[in-house]
Structure 1
Amino acid sequence: MAKKKWQEHGYPAQLAEQLEDKVVRCHLSPRNCKIRPGQHGFCMVRANRDGELVSLNYGRSVHATEETIETEAVFHYEPGARILSMGNIGCMLNCDYCHNWKTSQARFVEDKDVFHYTPEEVVDIAERHGIQVISWTYNDPVVWHEFVTETARLAKSRGIINLYKSAFFISPEAVEELIPVIDIFSVSIKSMDPKYYRKITKGWIEPVLEATEQVYRAGRHVEVSTLMVTDLSDSEQNARDMARFVGECLGPEVPTHFVRFHPDYKMTDTIRTPVERLEHARRVSLDMGLEHVYLGNVYDTESTNTWCRGCGLLQITRYGLNAQLVGVTPDGRCSGCGLDAHIKRVPNPVAAQATLDELPAHETYDLAHFDWHGDIRAVHVQVENTSDRPQEVFHRRVRRDNPNTGWTRIALEPQESYRFISAESFNDEIGVVVAVPNGCTSSLHQVFDRAHFPTTEAAAGTQNADITPLPLYVRPTR
């Protein structure tokens, strides 16, 4: 197989052990891959180049994307905050249902989907667009270790919060290097069944649980989630086992999320998780003593809201990937009774983005429309300023009962490409409109669930309506 451009350059890797005959051992994940010269580890993005362990994905990323913190199954750290999501290439697992297999499995990665960033560029993007949280996310940040730790350290020095969204199949040594620079850990525990882990994810559960306890003991903000795969991991027993682990090994205050699955990758001959099974898992976990239990990838349910466990006051309302604080003080307490709500706040949060009633009259705009349909309630909008002068693009929500929603402005530097999410935030919302001036281009990409990074434009259509995204995985023929 021909080497792709993104694989050409290696960057010195951490956590390497030199063995005889130029063989190296990688201690980043629990696999401890033993790699001979010219070979790769399981992840396919760490390789032995002439006896030295190198990272092939340093600074190589899917497009940086502005989202909201709820995208990352984080409900108790500055709800509603805008984040800059950074996802890379490769993974230390190979889950049969992976939502991002086109980028997580290195052999499927296409050069057209790879963008190049330096640590300084990532931090500059966040600062220029007024974003206070950088999220290391999507396929999994574990195999991006060198770039994550270097960039997170720079971001932290500039007052930016770092969020780490991961399946956390990682070594204790690597976790120790993350703890000083990561503020929030959102851990995806795939199932509590060890046999499921080995069969479906190609990993094993023990180091995941140990690493989660490790960051919790270090005092970092931790939230955990589990993907409830239809007829595989959506059982009451899995919910009970998850609640027992959180309650006994972490703490009952740790927010826990039961997440709805959509068919993808090697698991397309099935259906989305029935919502009632998620609701049942939540009720079981609350009955077992957990204090904050939520559903993910669902709409039109109160099981995404937060109430005070003392006085019952509604503290946070959520719809999809959007949140509004209605009963929480600036220091994270209930505004009714003063009880600690276990909600951390960002010091001096950025003010909400201002909107315009009308588009500026001095420009002519092309309008791109996207309507919500079925379970497709979010879209990535990618805009690019192809001119040599600063430009502004605008977007607004379209509501059936409240049409005057206002235009939100995004400023683009010359030649800048920017990607952001728009997600349904009201039950009367119809879709989104993007206004692009001359000298700028735009493309729309359907987001099937909050963990999904789409690589195919919405204009390409989908063979399975709103059930499974394109491209479809084609099993190899013998």
Structure 2
Amino acid sequence: MAETSWHNAHPARLEEQLDDGVVRCHLSPRNCRIRPGQHGFCMVRANRDGRLVSLNYGRSVHATEETIETEAVFHYAPGARILSMGNVGCMLNCDYCHNWKTSQARYIDAKDVYHYTPEQVVDIAKRHGIKVISWTYNDPVVWHEFVVETARLAQQAGITNLYKSAFFISSEAIEELIPVIDIFSVSIKSLDPAYYRKITKGWLEPVLEGTEQVFRAGRHVEVSTLMVTDLSDDEKTARAMAEFVGERLSPQVPTHFVRFHPDYKMTNTIRTPVDRLEHARRIALGMGLQHVYLGNVYDTDSTTTSCHSCGAVQVTRYGLNAHTVGLTSDGLCSTCRTDAHFTLFTETDRRTAVSTLPEPALDVASFSWHGDVRAVHVQVSNASSQTETIYQRRFGDPEVPESWSAILLQPGESFRFIAAKSTPEELGVKVAVPKGCTSSLHEVFDRAHFPTVEAGADSGNSDVTPLPAFVPLAR
């Protein structure tokens, strides 16, 4: 287990100094009152000598290139590549957390922790032509100082900032985010206050108020809710979600009903039946919402965007891949010119592709999709003293040209990216690296999570619950 060290302490914002060296943290609705030498609920904000400090500034899981669809964002630059940044700690402790090994700081392994400066994060995005930085995984709320500073630098470089969060955060902190965050993807765990208290260890109304706050500020907002099997995958949840979006936000706000997989403390169950998700979507559409989608599902039209006026297809999606087919450059329906409520990039950000490998001596590794594992994180490292090119491609679908996309790695660079199944017939992904470079493949379950297990490890019940499996620490 990685230690939380005072040597990593960084001055924290939103501090209130009280008597006897006690401080109060105003980052979340908890308003933790912290005595000298103690931590707050999140375990990464603490009191050092009577001052509030952050212990996770710049401490991150590996920066990872993904697609914007991994963040339940469908109406902003479909298919765009994003640089996902996650850290350690959380203001909640959800029983089914998919990122429990980093969100609950006591479980983090030192091998999963990397260190970045704000300048390094922005430089990675610029060098790889990535136009969106996503603050994600465990939850960016506890990384507040690093997020605000880095997002401001990214903004100056013309890079969009995306904030994927359960949004258990104070109004004061939100006001500091609004000037630097362009997209808010809010995960509303439930609309039932009792559920929130029991399952997430937080409370509901600040989440709803915060979501309204960023929506009123004119930021791009999308909302999602995890439909947990036999707990929240019912009509009541669907109606409550649709009512909140329709009445307190807008029927135009994209809404996602997300499929659950067993994880953390909630493994004695099954994945959400897809027919229940489809029913929830029909209810929300029937209540007047214009853009309702399913998440963590394949082989359904419920991830496709169709015009809410004429019905023409505008964006097709398969898993975490998207293709714009019926939108104008300013986000209107190509058929009837109705506003589709999209923000689009003016230029594509696709990687360079080649039809054949330039040299036959490359080492090639492959990963085959199986069961519900239809995505993989690929980590590549360049140990040489010169810039190298690594390649990746999909295989198995005879209708799709098997071209290789190229990724340049600087000397000494480690880079990580996601590959997700893009057609029903596709069988898997291949990665080719030159001498002096290494690669490893890590199974990803549904939308990306951290940490992951390298392919080839005993995956046990990996088609139902991803590794690593939760084992409580001895008290």
Give the C-alpha shift of residue 399 in structure 1. 2.1
| Preserved contact between residue 390 and residue 407 of structure 2 (Cα < 8 Å) | yes
Aligned match of 1:135: 134
Aligned match of 2:356: 358
Measured in 2, the distance between the counterparts of 1:61 and 1:260 equals 27
2:444 maps to which of 424, 440, 447: 447
Measured in 1, the distance between the counterparts of 2:223 and 2:448 equals 14
Deviations 1:406-457 (A, max 9, x none): 0000000000000000000011100000001110111111111104223321
TM-score (norm 1): 0.97
Measured in 2, the distance between the counterparts of 1:356 and 1:17 equals 57
For structure 1, list consecutive stretches of 5 or more residues without a partner in the other structure: none
Aligned match of 1:431: 428
Residue aligned with 2:427, SS: strand
Aligned match of 2:154: 155
Measured in 2, the distance between the counterparts of 1:465 and 1:174 equals 38
Q: Aligned-residue CA RMSD in angstroms?
A: 1.3
Aligned match of 1:50: 49
Give the C-alpha shift of residue 476 in structure 1. 4.9
Aligned match of 1:305: 304
Measured in 2, the distance between the counterparts of 1:53 and 1:188 equals 28
Matched, 1:421 2:418: yes
Structural mapping, 1:76-87, within 5 Å: 76-87=75-86
Give the C-alpha shift of residue 404 in structure 1. 3.5
Residue aligned with 1:421, SS: strand
Measured in 2, the distance between the counterparts of 1:254 and 1:403 equals 33
- Letter of the 2:380 counterpart: V
Aligned match of 2:123: 124
- Greater than 4 Å deviation, 4+ residue runs: none
Residue aligned with 1:459, SS: coil
Measured in 1, the distance between the counterparts of 2:2 and 2:417 equals 31
Give the C-alpha shift of residue 192 in structure 1. 0.5
Between the aligned residues of both structures, percent identity stands at 71
Measured in 2, the distance between the counterparts of 1:470 and 1:313 equals 41
Measured in 2, the distance between the counterparts of 1:7 and 1:441 equals 34
Measured in 2, the distance between the counterparts of 1:94 and 1:465 equals 23
Aligned match of 1:103: 102
- Letter of the 2:427 counterpart: I
Cα 1:7–1:236 shift into 2, 3 Å: farther
Give the C-alpha shift of residue 5 in structure 1. 6.5
Give the C-alpha shift of residue 229 in structure 1. 0.5
- Letter of the 1:286 counterpart: L
Aligned match of 1:25: 24
Measured in 1, the distance between the counterparts of 2:16 and 2:153 equals 27
Structural mapping, 1:19-418, within 5 Å: 19-346=18-345, 348-361=346-359, 364-402=361-399, 404-418=401-415
TM-score (norm 2): 0.98
Cα 1:93–1:330 shift into 2, 3 Å: same
Cα 1:5–1:187 shift into 2, 3 Å: closer
Aligned match of 1:463: 460
Cα 1:446–1:3 shift into 2, 3 Å: closer
Measured in 1, the distance between the counterparts of 2:155 and 2:208 equals 26
The number of aligned residues is 475
Measured in 2, the distance between the counterparts of 1:451 and 1:92 equals 20
| Preserved contact between residue 6 and residue 60 of structure 1 (Cα < 8 Å) | no
Give the C-alpha shift of residue 6 in structure 1. 6.1
| Preserved contact between residue 226 and residue 259 of structure 1 (Cα < 8 Å) | yes
Cα 1:241–1:434 shift into 2, 3 Å: same
Deviations 1:228-277 (A, max 9, x none): 00001111001000000000000000000000000000001000000000
Cα 1:76–1:9 shift into 2, 3 Å: same
Give the C-alpha shift of residue 401 in structure 1. 1.9
Cα 1:53–1:316 shift into 2, 3 Å: same
Residue aligned with 1:175, SS: helix
| Preserved contact between residue 64 and residue 418 of structure 1 (Cα < 8 Å) | yes
Deviations 1:93-116 (A, max 9, x none): 000000011111000011110000
Deviations 1:322-357 (A, max 9, x none): 0000000110000111110001112x3234223111
| Preserved contact between residue 102 and residue 451 of structure 2 (Cα < 8 Å) | no
| Preserved contact between residue 6 and residue 114 of structure 1 (Cα < 8 Å) | no
For structure 2, list consecutive stretches of 5 or more residues without a partner in the other structure: none
Cα 1:325–1:53 shift into 2, 3 Å: same
